């Protein structure tokens, strides 16, 4: 009888754990525009990642992200932002246009163990509510897995 | 006699003022890479400013610069940085290369009155010592003068 109750309690805990995991949504990175700008890149038409990443993107990081860039390991609490804008060229000058999406990686080894300790999310345009990732970051992680020696982060610090 | 001494003192002060003005070099903006990234633009071959500004440039500002961007008036102590890097394209992706120059604007209405209250300087490549401006910023200001309604600053804040 005691064993049955214990089993019941354990099962409930596990269900709760799974439920909590599924609810671990990545927050919109409020204030990231004043965080450290790490690097910029432009993906043009014809690039393998043009859908959905065509345009000019800036990568921003909070203080822990900047530390991690230098050591190659990122502590829990690290937040990296991939800020994608339209990229327009005329008269031999290219400028930034409307925001396409805001991609976010948040490090939390307990919450996001199955995706390398990183939570992934995307927010459409200027919205902090319209979410773009619907598979708990599995498809994001499939691509980032190639960077396992740099804690699954593509971006490198440059001075 | 008293008047003569007063004249002598005044003349000496004026000479000192002129000497001080000529020595008001703009400092290298230590730490600007962690200041706020304001915007980015790419100038291609054929652009009127290709020499010397061809490449990808990021504009960074200290806290006073960000305040000024929003009000359109910049307080003394504002520092804006124009960080110019090489821009290379291959396989439908464009990336940042070596640093070409670091341009700086510093606001000080008493020091730089003849150039709109702004001190201008450029530093070659990654050097904080090799200076590029040899006319006290007059040629820089000639171009920036067009932006007199925005306190001589071309860059605008974007969210």
Interface contact flag, B93 A41, Cβ < 8 Å:
yes
Residue B114 CB-half CA count within 13 A: 9
Q: Any residues with CB less than 8 A from the CB of A153 and at least 6 apart, and which?
A: A68, A69, A74, A80, A105, A144, A147
Confidence class of residue B5 from pLDDT cuts 50, 70 and 90? low
Residue A1: predicted pLDDT: 47
Give the count of beta carbons closer than 10 Å to the beta carbon of residue A89.
12
Chain B nearest-CA distance from A37, in A, is: 6
Residue B26 DSSP symbol? P
Q: How far is CA A40 from the centre of its chain?
A: 16
Best mutation target, B29, B32, B33, to test chain A (most A CBs within 10 A): B33
Q: How far is CA B115 from the centre of its chain?
A: 11
Give tens-digit pLDDT for A6-51: 555 545 544 444 444 556 899 999 999 999 999 999 999 999 999 9
Residue A17: predicted pLDDT: 45
In chain B, residues with a C-beta closer than 8 Å to the C-beta of A60 are 37
Residue B79: predicted pLDDT: 98
Give tens-digit pLDDT for A50-71: 999 999 999 999 999 999 999 9
* Token reading at B134: 């040899």
Nearest to A93 among B43, B58, B94 (CB): B43
Interface contact flag, B96 A34, Cβ < 8 Å:
no
Look up the ipTM and state it: 0.86
Summary mean pLDDT of chain B = 90
- List, in sequence order, every beta strand (DSSP E) within B4-159: 36-43, 55-61, 79-90, 93-107, 118-124
d(CA A23, CA B120): 52
Range A86-109 average pLDDT: 98
Interface contact flag, B94 A60, Cβ < 8 Å:
no
- Could you tell me how many CB contacts below 8 A there are between chain A and chain B? 67
The residue assigned the tokens 């200027």 is A126
Interface contact flag, A40 B42, Cβ < 8 Å:
no
For the CA atoms of B109, B30, B121, B11, the dihedral, rounded to the nearest 10 degrees, stands at 50
Tell me whether strands A118-124 and B36-43 are parallel, antiparallel or unpaired.
unpaired
């Amino acid at each position: 009888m005691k064993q049955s109750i214990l089993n019941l309690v354990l099962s409930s805990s596990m269900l709760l754990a799974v439920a909590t995991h599924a609810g671990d949504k990545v927050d919109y990175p409020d204030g990231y525009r004043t965080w450290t700008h790490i690097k910029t890149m432009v993906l043009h038409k014809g690039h393998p990642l043009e859908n959905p990443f065509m345009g000019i993107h800036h990568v921003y990081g909070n203080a822990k992200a900047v530390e991690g860039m230098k050591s190659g390991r990122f502590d829990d609490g690290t937040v990296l932002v991939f800020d994608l804008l339209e990229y327009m060229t005329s008269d031999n000058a290219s400028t930034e246009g409307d925001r396409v999406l805001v991609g976010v990686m948040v490090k939390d080894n307990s919450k996001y163990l199955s995706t390398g300790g990183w939570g992934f999310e995307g927010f459409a345009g200027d919205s902090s509510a319209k979410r773009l990732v619907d598979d708990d970051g599995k498809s994001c992680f499939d691509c980032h897995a190639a960077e396992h020696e740099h804690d699954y982060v593509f971006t490198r610090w440059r001075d």
